[in-house]
Amino acid sequence: MNRVFSGIQPTGEMHLGNYLGAVRRWVSEAPIRPDNRSEALYCVVDLHAMTVAYEPAEFADRTRRTAMLLLAAGLDPERCVLFVQSHVSAHTELTWILNCIATYGELRRMTQFKDKGQGQESVSVGLLDYPVLMAADILAYDTTEVPIGDDQRQHLELARDIAIRFNHRFGETLIVPKPTFPEVAARVKDLQNPAAKMSKSANSEAGQILLVDPPSRIAKKIKSAVTDSLAAINYDPINQPGVSNLIEILSAATDQTIEQTTLGLHGQGYGALKSQTADAVVSLIEPLQARLAELEADLGEVGRILASGAVRAQEIADPVMERIRSATGLLPRLP
């Protein structure tokens, strides 16, 4: 059985990195019709977002809005299960069980924990435990494949380690999942600071392209992207990170390889690179914006999709959790 699972934080926004690195493949990897050979689950991970400071009054709206953006991006609720993490209790229950397998040392060494915890006066246990919750998300559904961007690589390695360790201790119980990455644009960079990834939290607005940006703003952001003074279109992420980022974005948006893109731009300047990239991104995003406008007109529909998604997710997780409880020696709940 091929089971795909992935998740996104409920920021209420989606940037080009999320879309090119992950969400676009969520759409293409959902089976035409879920059956007992393949199924895909996509989750808005609200519990993960509670690990850092957040505004409770806006939280539910952001969660709903993120689900809406996923639908606008092309997720079809007939072809996949779209749901909210906190609606399925298996995530937190399995987190506890896996907490007893994961070690403090390995969690403390995680890059994201070090980055997000740095300089904070007080760091929540939740932030330390973030990767274990993520492992639980994946392992609760017998997931075989996890389509993610490059920044989640370390988390996936940990989820695999935890699954292997669990199986070693309790016998073959958990499926060890594999991450999948896109061929290009696995780590889209910030347009203003190409040393950093495009991200919802860290960087300036000018550095990220949001799915809701009007075409003129997209073009403006791309035209003001930081490049270099070498005046040569080469794919060289070390010496020409800004230009290479634009080449990756253009390649991903036009479904071309890096080689095809650079060849196509042979002899042209950064102006041509930027205007082709802007046009390609606008054409990619415009249909999503049209769908978003339709969804915004029917909020009830999103609620119904999430409610039925949670029921299906629970159905899939139930037997897996039963197997895990039995393997770990917990007393069965039913007589």
Q: Which are the catalytic amino acids?
A: 116, 197, 200
Pick between residue 3 and residue 187 the one whose CB is nearest to ligand TYM.
187
Contacts of 64 (CB under 8 A, 6+ apart): 299, 302, 303, 306
Stretch near ligand TYM under the rule CB under 6 A, chosen from 99-107, 146-154, 221-229, 277-285: 146-154
| Per-residue interface string for the shown chain with ligand TYM, residues 198-237, x marking contact by CB under 6 A | xx--------------------------------------
Stretch near ligand TYM under the rule CB under 6 A, chosen from 145-153, 216-224, 270-278, 324-332: 145-153
Pick between residue 173 and residue 199 the one whose CB is nearest to ligand TYM.
199
Contact (Cβ atoms closer than 8 angstroms) between residue 142 and residue 3:
yes
How, if at all, do strands 81-84 and 178-180 pair?
A: unpaired
By the rule CB under 6 A, 48 interacts with ligand TYM: yes
| Per-residue interface string for the shown chain with ligand TYM, residues 151-170, x marking contact by CB under 6 A | xx--x---------------
By the rule CB under 6 A, 8 interacts with ligand TYM: yes
Pick between residue 173 and residue 193 the one whose CB is nearest to ligand TYM.
193
Pick between residue 149 and residue 309 the one whose CB is nearest to ligand TYM.
149
Pick between residue 101 and residue 158 the one whose CB is nearest to ligand TYM.
158
Q: Both tokens of residue 13?
A: 């926004």
The only residue of 148, 191, 265, 281 in contact with ligand TYM, by rule CB under 6 A:
148
As a dihedral over the C-alpha atoms of residue 175, residue 7, residue 78, residue 321, rounded to 10 degrees, the angle is 40
By the rule CB under 6 A, 22 interacts with ligand TYM: yes
Torsion angles phi and psi, residue 206, rounded to 5: -65, -20
Contact (Cβ atoms closer than 8 angstroms) between residue 85 and residue 46:
yes
**Residues 233, 243: Cα–Cα separation, whole Å:** 7
**Residues 194, 203: Cα–Cα separation, whole Å:** 11
Contact (Cβ atoms closer than 8 angstroms) between residue 289 and residue 69:
no
> Angle CA(215)–CA(221)–CA(226) in degrees, nearest 5?
155
Residue whose C-beta lies closest to ligand TYM: 21
> Angle CA(7)–CA(62)–CA(253) in degrees, nearest 5?
55
DSSP letter at 32 equals: S
Give the footprint of ligand TYM on this chain (CB under 6 A). Answer: 5-9, 17-18, 21-22, 45, 48, 134, 137-138, 146, 148-149, 151-152, 155, 186-188, 197-199
